Amino acid sequence: MPAKRTSPVRKAPAANTQPPLKFTVPGMTLADATTVTKLLQERLNALNDLALTLKHVHWNVVGPHFIAVHKMLDPQIDAIRAMADTTAERIATLGGVPIGTPGALVDQRNCDDYSLGRATTQEHLGALDQVFGGVIADHRAALDEVEKPDPVSHDMLIGQLADLELFHWFIRAHYKDTAGALATTGADTEVAAAKAAEKAFPS
């Protein structure tokens, strides 16, 4: 009889906070670099969370428009993963330690888990309006805080915003009418947005 397998003992997750910086790029103070790396870690968490959420939708979307949405999401996921990589490398360049472990992501992120499991294309797309809206708004807020201390990180975030807003447009086009109105207007949760999108444009 084979020996029973036991799970390895799980230790407490590694420290989730940035250790004090010992160096940074020339011309930048350690205080400014510390502020910027903290902000970039928040954006890294958001991008990693977004990529995982989109993959979850990619696996769980159903309905007559399944293949279109299923295939639309993968290039977005690849691009967002690349944004996360660039952000992590910027943190390291500034002398910080980019943290990308699952435990740290759960501990540090400022949003709840995505609300939908298996659902129609319209429901998922409506819910993603809320997801993208939050990430984009937080990216824009970070712009103001990094512009003066680190124009390089500012430029990086602007480039990411251009793509994130483009992807958001792709999502929104599925529940926007010919007059330009969004079915999700006024919804303040993923579930409410999902219901509104499905009601306006049934899958």
- What's the CA gap between 29 and 43, in Å, rounded? 21
Please give the pLDDT value at position 7: 39
- Asked whether residue 54 is assigned to any structural domain, the reply reads yes
- Asked whether residue 68 is assigned to any structural domain, the reply reads yes
Q: Which residue has the tokens 């906070």?
A: 17
Please give the pLDDT value at position 110: 74
Residues of the domain holding 165 = 30-200
User: What number is the average pLDDT over the span 25-32?
Assistant: 97
| Closest of 190, 200, 195 to residue 57, by C-alpha | 190
DSSP 3-state of 137: helix
C-alpha triplet 75, 108, 163: angle, nearest 5°: 25
* CATH code for position 54: 1.20.1260.10
Where residue 16 falls among pLDDT bands split at 50, 70, 90? Answer: low
Mean pLDDT is lowest, of 1-10, 53-62, 175-184, for 1-10
Q: Which has more confidence, 193 or 4?
A: 193
The pLDDT of residue 63 is above 90: yes
- Asked whether residue 137 is assigned to any structural domain, the reply reads yes
User: What number is the average pLDDT over the span 129-136?
Assistant: 96
